[in-house]
Structure 1
Amino acid sequence: MRLITTTLLATAVTLCAGAAFAQGIDDPTREPYYSAFEGKRVAYIPVAMGFDLTEGWAAGLKEALEPLGMTIDIRDPNWSTDAGAQAITSLISEKPDVIVVHNPDVQSYARLLRRAEEAGIYVVQVNMRSSYSTDAFIGADYVGMGQRIGERLVEVCSPANGGSGKVAITQGVLTAAASVYQMQGIQNVLSQHDDIQIVSNQAADWDGTKAKNIAATVIQQHPDLCAITGFWDVMDVGTAAAIKESGKDVYLLTQGGGNQMACDGLANGTYSEVVVYHVPGQARDMATMIKHLIQQGQPAGTTKTTLFTPLDFVTKDNMTPASCWSLPGLN
């Protein structure tokens, strides 16, 4: 009789529990998750708006964070370092929860970013870092990228592989992280290859017209030039134009955020190869890091996190429909 009673009781408990689960139970983590973000403010300072990288990051941040009740405040310095510094100074007084910054060079914003963290503001840097490390950096490993580019220049241009050994480099702004760190990586490789000669190493300041003029002069001085590596695909539209006008077969290895323009350029022969650091992925990583910082609630500047973006070396032969992305109204 006791066995029957126990069995019936266990069955009843199971049925009650089953009924409760059938009706569903609330996730205890939802409320604190959503309430952590409601009303939070993110200020975004690019080098300028109006091109694929900065527009793509802005779109990604908005898509990920605005549905959570957060606001994105864009301060566009329009290529003016002074205007960017003024924007950061104002924001330190305004005290947003997070500042996302795209540094024009390694030094200009360094002290201001430290002041922002000291004021209790989380600081996330994207793709071009400052000499001062903040709560987070999301972007390319430019030293590593430079090393891989150096290896590609050896593969393409070494006399042992049929090349002339002559290569040219077109940097952006000399003091930008994308230039100084990348040059270190390139030098790490080419310093070990006496058969590769850098016949030109100049800065075009991210300007396509300057890049075109530099390339035209170098090709005229070195008709047997094997390759040019440029540090931004938008700038290197000018480099490509100079190569086309020269009628020479010069390998153009460039880099960028993987906007559809890059794949179109590979398809039509504007570029020979593009190193892609995917902007949508960077935007997702920034948003994830912002959500992590806000939920953890530690004082700004407590931790220093680096998330390097995976790199894809894309050519006409290996690109796929997923190699590039599009932002409506940008292309």
Structure 2
Amino acid sequence: MTPETPPLRLGTRASLLARTQSGTVADALRAATGREVELVPITTDGDVLTGPLAQLGGTGVFVAALRDALLRGDCDLVVHSMKDLPTGAVEGLEIGAVPERAPVGDVLCSRDGLNLATLPRGAVVGSGSPRRVAQLLRRRPDLVVRGIRGNVDTRLRKVDEGEYDAIVLAEAGLVRIGRTDRIAERFGADGWPPSAGQGALAVEVRTGTTSAPESADAADAVRAAVARITDVDAEVTALLERAVLRRLEAGCAAPVGISAMLAPGGVALVAEVYSLDGARAVRVERTFSRAEVDGELGRADAAAEVVDELFAAGAADLADLAGSGR
């Protein structure tokens, strides 16, 4: 590294999972570009406030502080769990890379190693996600599902101490921090579609049109460096899921599962909308050719087809979906 090539500054939250994800991206950037990468710690409201995420503004509370720091020029890039990233565009920012994707599905972690079918009647299961609550109650309406906050280890400790009989988490997070030994059951993404973008990381950068103290050439250099760690398969599946979620205009409390997987015929997509109690659901399954969904416009067209079908089947009667007003 020379004085003309300063280190890339990567903004990160302080949690173990966030630092692990950011470290993975930093290592990939070092390997791809030869540039040094330094981590810049950033505290978000989601890290210091308590209460259900839906009441705090949803998973976007983890995103806002990172984006503000990036727009100010405090760092050159930030890493988000894509499932936490709101779908609306932010002037001056863009997703510069989608690295290789981790497992996309949800898992059950229980105190006694029981799976969902063998948990006792009335077992207490922890989840702060309306989608997961609906999916749990759809399978097991006898369960008591309670909200839960805290990092992965905190949640697992609440199971060990008997506050919960089990919890549902994203497998990707457990993989990244080495806690897969706690998994009692894996839920397939086809029958239990996860949140859009789950398992994927979004590396966000400035577009060069911000007021950050840098030249357009410097912003272009950062974007070029970051783009080198994109995984094209992860990009097409995760961004297709986000396109469907964007078209739905689903609020943070809307129970919606979306999964796109590579298939022999192209990309197979499942989108399911639930009532909050899990009693009702509307599901759409479509397969698109890779060429149809490789670009942003193609993904938008595919998303419109899927969402139109969901609304025609009554999805707007089950959840708060602003896109139904089109």
What TM-score do the two structures reach when normalised by structure 2? Answer: 0.32
Larger RCO (alpha carbons 8 Å, 6+ apart): 2
The structure having more radius of gyration, on CA atoms, is 1
Q: Kindly indicate which of the two structures has a greater share of residues assigned to helix.
A: 1
